Chains A and B, each alone.
Chain A
């Protein structure tokens, strides 16, 4: 259950290798979560997931369960959610953090690769998001935290495959949040700007960067306040209000 000050008892992290997702899970553990499921492809024998579990235990988690989860196999997603609930009970917070940033040039050279990455960043969330939503609706409470991105707020030339997938995800998350209104379950959309992580190491830094820890703090704050959308850093909300108003010829010429 989420308590009156926003702490939760259980966390399901979809994308157990995501640096941002893991930072958010760790923050929720420090705030009181005791049972965590780390869902990722090949989670069972993965050293990275083992390290992540260790990190969460060190932060105070009593039980950390690895769980195999393949974003590209939508038919398995309902079972993944059911197994997670068997492992830890009610899913108080589900952090949906997987995705592939990829490399725009490589995408343009290899359309099949681009489509695969777009699926991981968008359609994989559709199936698992709906499966999570059904479970949260049945339990009458719970928050699905969707890690969107400002890249999807207005798609840029420099990363339009990733950006368009995030735009789809963001729209999906908004609609899902509206669908869940009044059910006790809800969706928290997190829109970070540039976050330097392993995933983004190959792209140049952008203005208004945020750390994974800042994103994690925003997730915790959103759980506490019941917000529907949080921007990290917060001023990006204003920045993008302006960005959206830029005329197309100008927008197209943005350096990146």
Chain B
């Protein structure tokens, strides 16, 4: 195959921890992807190292790594994009990034159904991780908007699946971390928007209870809602933060000089992190200072601000390679969800993390709405908290293991797309429908061709 020169490459996730080596292939067509899977299946069982798809490498941990095996870099996979404006659906190749998708859709007055905290993720990755965004409380996760998928399974078969057609495989693929097949194309809905701006309301909240109360009472008024938390504030200020809620702006709400081009969209990268940063640049002191400044800068109560879409959804994308700020040892992202009713447990979890002095400057609290039928999909109705900390923070392993226990006791779970350090038993308990998912995987991949470092580490 001309498309695929053989080379062994060290790969990590976005957290830049635990590199492993794999042969990277870049299939350009579903047929090439199928041939690569068949080739892996034909290796003798004792020496087979398996294969996994990789998109833009934004999973924080080891989900898109396959040590000793083959990693299918899907960026070039059958590029293609169709918008059916009448039905408001988009069909895009799995390698399409949401950045490309937004650039195509916005001028046509459409928007992806779900966008996460970075636009540099692929459609395939969005499905594999069943990503969620600031609109989860209203619109659920990406998988809820997918009408159908084309996937290549390890037997080399090309299948089209949907919630009606082989629903078991469809839902095992949504949130299935790429372990049921290589998604090659997806058809999903694209909502209409009038402008490329957001109308944002901002509220500073003095503590965690106020944040939760505000979001519980008024989330339904906004399609997008999120709370940034100052995790280093303790005592009475525990969980103080800034709640931002928004909806897409209407043309009439734009400043008059922008109304002639309401859908103009030109996100910019304003800076790049240097390739090398000293270890411990982000420490309790620098993050405390950042957090205090960020909190102080936010308006106590701001209403109706018109802001560019990218600054609302993707502020971090303005700094290319921001993950490098965490230094050579990388970062660990931790995201948990607990069901409604577990607010006391959530409070204890936040207090535990705050007491440990975890220097996280990107702590985010959000209300989750309804989940999808996918057995490994992360979101459950309730609360989610995400934080990121330097991987070399002393005592981090134990702190997060303790947090896992609390999350599990609260009936919650952690997000596989972010995990880089959990233990198998805890994850198995957090995802009680794992057996159901494994049965589907066994059906489409009896030889266990599709695997990843994540799957090996967590014994999925």
Q: How many B residues have CB within 8 A of the partner chain?
A: 31
**Contact indicator B392/A140 (Cβ below 8 Å):** no
- The reply to whether A140 and B69 contact each other, CB–CB distance below 8 Å, is yes
> Are B391 and A184 interface neighbours, CB within 8 A?
no
B61 touches A4 (CB 8 A): yes
Complex partner residue of A3 from B18, B19, B47, B49, CB under 8 angstroms: B18
Q: Contacts A31-B397, A224-B392 given: A138-B456 contact, CB under 8 Å?
A: no
| A7 and B397 contact, CB distance less than 8 A | yes
- Are B18 and A1 in contact (CB-based, < 8 A)? yes
A141–B421 contact, CB under 8 A? Answer: no
B396 surroundings in chain A (CB, below 8 A): 5
Q: Are A1 and B62 in contact, with the CB atoms below 8 A? A: yes
Closest to B393 in A: A5
Interface size grouping (class) on chain A: 20 to 34
- The reply to whether A140 and B61 form a contact with Cβ atoms under 8 Å apart is no
A90 and B456: CB pair below 8 A?
yes
A233 interface contact, C-beta 8 A: no
| CB contact under 8 A between A140 and B421, given known A5-B396, A183-B8 | no
Out of A3, A140, A224, name the residue touching B67 (CB < 8 Å): A140
Q: Is B457 in contact with A3, judged by CB distance below 8 angstroms?
A: yes
In this assembly, does B17 line the interface, its C-beta being within 8 Å of a C-beta of chain A? Answer: yes
In terms of DSSP, what is the predominant structure of the interface of chain A? loop
B397, A140: Cβ atoms under 8 Å? no
Within 8 Å by CB of B20, from A140, A225, A226, lies: A140
- In the assembled complex, the Cα of A32 lies from the Cα of B459 at a distance in Å of 14
Q: Contact: B420 with A3, CB < 8 Å?
A: yes
The answer to whether B8 touches A3, judged by C-beta atoms less than 8 angstroms apart, is: no
User: How many Å lie between the Cα of A89 and that of B48 in the bound state?
Assistant: 12
B332 at the interface (CB under 8 A from A): yes
Say yes or no: B21 contacts A141, CB within 8 Å.
yes
* Nearest neighbor of A5 in chain B, beta-carbon distance: B397
In the assembled complex, B28 has its CB within 8 A of some CB on chain A: no
What residues on A are CB-neighbors of B332 within 8 Å?
4-5
Q: A224 to chain B: which residues have CB within 8 Å?
A: 392
A184 surroundings in chain B (CB, below 8 A):
10, 19-22, 67-68
User: Within the assembled complex, what's the spacing in Å between the Cα atoms of A88 and B49?
Assistant: 15
Please determine whether A141 and B392 come into contact, CB atoms closer than 8 angstroms. no
Instruction: Give the distance in Å from the alpha carbon of A1 to the alpha carbon of B17 in the complex.
Output: 12
* Chain B min CB distance to A135 (Å): 10
| A interface residues (Cβ-Cβ under 8 A, vs B) | 1-7, 9, 31-32, 89-90, 138-141, 182-185, 224-226
Residue positions of B touching A, CB distance < 8 A: 8, 10, 15, 17-22, 47, 49, 61-62, 66-69, 329-330, 332, 391-392, 396-397, 400, 420-421, 423, 453, 456-457
Can you list 26 residue pairs at the A/B interface with Cβ under 8 Å?
A: A1-B457, A2-B18, A3-B17, A3-B18, A3-B420, A3-B457, A4-B15, A4-B18, A5-B396, A7-B397, A9-B457, A31-B397, A32-B423, A139-B49, A139-B68, A140-B21, A140-B22, A140-B66, A140-B68, A141-B20, A184-B19, A184-B20, A184-B21, A185-B21, A224-B392, A225-B392
